[in-house]
C-alpha cells in the first residue's frame, strides 16, 4: 500500500466531506477508501481541523510538516495548500518520500520551480499537479476527438468556473490546451482579474468567473465550424451537437444533439491515484509531466502581469 500524508486539512484536503466520507470529494476520504493507499496522517496549522481529522480517520494529526515527518514515513505526500520552497527542501532530507502531488494554486516563481525540478530529479521523487481530468481516459479521448475534428476547426471555447483562475480556471485551461495550439495573446475582458481572453493559433478561449459557491454551474462550451460540445458539472456530462441543414430555413444550419457521454462513471480522483500507483510500482508512466507544469506557470505569470 502507498502510505500517504495530507498537508493541509482545509476544504479540499479534509472538510468538504467530513460528515460523509464515502462521498470521496476530498483527498483524505479518497485515500482512506482506496484499497491500494493508506492514510497515515494529516498536517494543518489549525488545531480544530487536526482534531476533527484525527477523530474521523483515527490516524495521527500534526501542526507542522517537520513534526509529522519525525513520526511517520510516507511514500506519497499531497499538498492541498500552496507549498513553500522550504517545505520541499525539508522533504528532500527523507529517502522514503517517492511522490509529491500538488493542488493549485502552485508556486509561481520560475526560480523556485527550477529548484523543485532540481531537488526532485536529484532525489528521484516524482511529482505532478492534480489536474484530475487530464488523468481521465474519457476526457483525454474527448479532447483528442476535438483536436481531430469531431466538431470541425476554428474553435471558440467558453469556460465558466468558480473561485480563482489559479485554483479552478486552470483545470479547464490545462484540458483545452490538448486541442489548442500555442497561446498567442492573453488579456483581461472585464475589471475582474479572473475573466480572461486567450488567443491561440487555431482559435480563441474565454474564461468567466461565476459565483464563488456555485459549483453546479462550472461548464465548458466549445464551438467549432461543424458543431458544438457542452461539458456540464454535477453530473459531468458531455453533449455533442453536429451542424445540420435547417429544414424550415433552407439557407441556414441548426445544431442537432447527436450524443451524450457520462464523463464521471469512474471517480475522477481515482484516475490520479491509479497513475501514481502504477508509476511507483513501475507499471506505467506519469500522464501529466513537467511540460504541463511549465505551461501552467507561464500562463499564470502572464495573467498576473495584466
Same domain? For 13 and 120 the reply is yes
Q: What pLDDT was estimated at residue 214?
A: 60
Beta bridge partners of 253: 245
The CATH number of the domain holding residue 116 is 3.40.50.720
Q: What pLDDT was estimated at residue 35?
A: 95
Same domain? For 105 and 39 the reply is yes
Quick one: cell of 172?
Answer: 479547464
Q: Cα angle at 171 between 136 and 46, to 5 degrees?
A: 105
Start-to-end CA distance of the chain, whole Å, equals 45
Q: What pLDDT was estimated at residue 216?
A: 61
Same domain? For 85 and 199 the reply is no
Q: Is residue 80, in this structure, part of any structural domain at all?
A: yes
Same domain? For 169 and 117 the reply is no
| 3 state SS of 129 | strand
Helical H runs in 148-252?
A: 170-176
Q: Is residue 62, in this structure, part of any structural domain at all?
A: yes
Same domain? For 59 and 122 the reply is yes
Same domain? For 65 and 92 the reply is yes
The CATH number of the domain holding residue 149 is 3.30.360.10
For residue 8, the enclosing domain spans 2-130+278-284
* Count, residues in the chain: 306
Q: What pLDDT was estimated at residue 25?
A: 86
Q: Is residue 86, in this structure, part of any structural domain at all?
A: yes
Mean pLDDT by 10 residues, the chain (306 residues): 97 90 87 97 97 97 96 97 88 92 81 83 90 90 94 94 84 88 89 90 93 73 96 89 92 94 82 95 84 74 77
For residue 215, what is the DSSP state? G
Same domain? For 122 and 232 the reply is no
How many domains would you assign to the chain?
Answer: 2
Same domain? For 181 and 218 the reply is yes
Same domain? For 55 and 146 the reply is no
Q: Rounded to whole angstroms, how far apart are CA atoms 140 and 129?
A: 16
Q: Is residue 295, in this structure, part of any structural domain at all?
A: no
Same domain? For 81 and 125 the reply is yes
Same domain? For 148 and 48 the reply is no
Tabulate helix, strand, coil % of the chain (nearest 5). 35, 25, 40
Q: What pLDDT was estimated at residue 265?
A: 62
Q: Rounded to whole angstroms, how far apart are CA atoms 119 and 107?
A: 15
DSSP state letters, 54-114: HHHH-S-EES-HHHHHHH---SEEEE-S---HHHHHHHTT-TT--EEEE-SS----HHHHH
Q: Are 108 and 300 in contact (CB under 8 A)?
A: yes
Beta bridge partners of 297: none
Q: Is residue 294, in this structure, part of any structural domain at all?
A: no
- Grid cell 479547464 is found at 172
Q: What pLDDT was estimated at residue 235?
A: 80
Cis amide bond preceding 235, omega within 30: yes
Q: Rounded to whole angstroms, how far apart are CA atoms 10 and 26?
A: 9
Q: Cα angle at 265 between 296 and 143, to 5 degrees?
A: 40
Same domain? For 97 and 205 the reply is no
- Residue 133 neighbours by CB distance under 10 Å: 22
- Residue 60 neighbours by CB distance under 10 Å: 17
Amino acid at each position: 500500500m502507498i502510505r500517504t500524508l495530507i498537508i493541509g486539512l482545509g476544504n479540499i484536503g479534509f472538510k468538504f466531506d467530513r460528515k460523509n466520507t464515502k462521498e470521496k470529494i476530498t483527498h483524505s476520504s479518497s485515500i482512506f477508501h482506496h484499497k491500494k493507499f493508506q492514510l497515515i496522517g494529516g498536517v494543518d496549522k489549525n488545531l480544530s481541523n487536526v482534531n476533527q481529522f484525527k477523530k474521523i480517520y483515527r490516524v495521527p494529526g500534526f501542526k507542522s510538516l517537520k513534526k509529522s515527518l519525525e513520526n511517520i514515513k510516507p511514500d506519497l505526500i499531497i499538498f492541498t495548500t500552496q507549498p513553500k520552497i522550504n517545505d520541499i527542501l525539508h522533504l528532500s532530507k527523507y529517502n522514503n518520500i517517492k511522490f509529491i502531488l500538488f493542488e493549485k494554486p502552485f508556486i509561481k516563481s520560475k526560480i523556485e520551480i527550477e529548484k523543485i525540478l532540481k531537488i526532485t530529479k536529484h532525489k528521484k521523487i516524482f511529482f505532478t499537479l492534480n489536474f484530475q481530468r487530464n488523468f481521465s481516459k474519457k476526457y483525454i479521448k474527448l479532447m483528442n476527438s476535438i483536436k481531430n475534428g469531431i466538431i470541425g476547426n476554428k474553435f471558440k471555447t467558453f469556460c465558466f468556473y468558480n473561485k480563482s483562475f489559479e485554483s479552478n480556471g486552470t483545470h479547464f485551461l490545462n484540458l483545452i490546451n490538448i486541442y489548442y495550439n500555442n497561446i498567442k495573446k492573453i488579456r483581461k475582458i472585464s475589471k475582474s482579474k479572473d475573466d480572461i481572453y486567450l488567443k491561440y493559433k487555431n482559435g480563441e478561449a474565454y474564461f468567466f468567473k461565476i459565483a464563488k459557491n456555485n459549483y453546479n454551474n462550472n461548464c465548458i462550451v466549445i464551438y467549432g465550424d461543424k458543431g458544438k460540445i457542452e461539458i456540464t458539472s454535477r453530473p459531468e456530462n458531455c453533449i455533442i451537437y453536429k451542424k445540420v441543414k435547417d429544414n424550415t430555413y433552407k439557407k441556414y444550419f441548426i445544431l442537432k444533439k447527436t450524443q451524450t457521454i457520462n464523463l464521471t462513471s469512474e471517480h475522477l480522483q481515482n484516475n490520479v491515484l491509479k497513475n501514481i500507483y502504477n508509476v511507483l510500482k513501475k507499471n506505467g508512466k506519469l500522464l501529466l509531466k513537467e511540460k504541463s507544469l511549465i505551461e501552467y506557470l507561464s500562463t499564470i505569470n502572464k495573467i498576473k502581469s495584466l
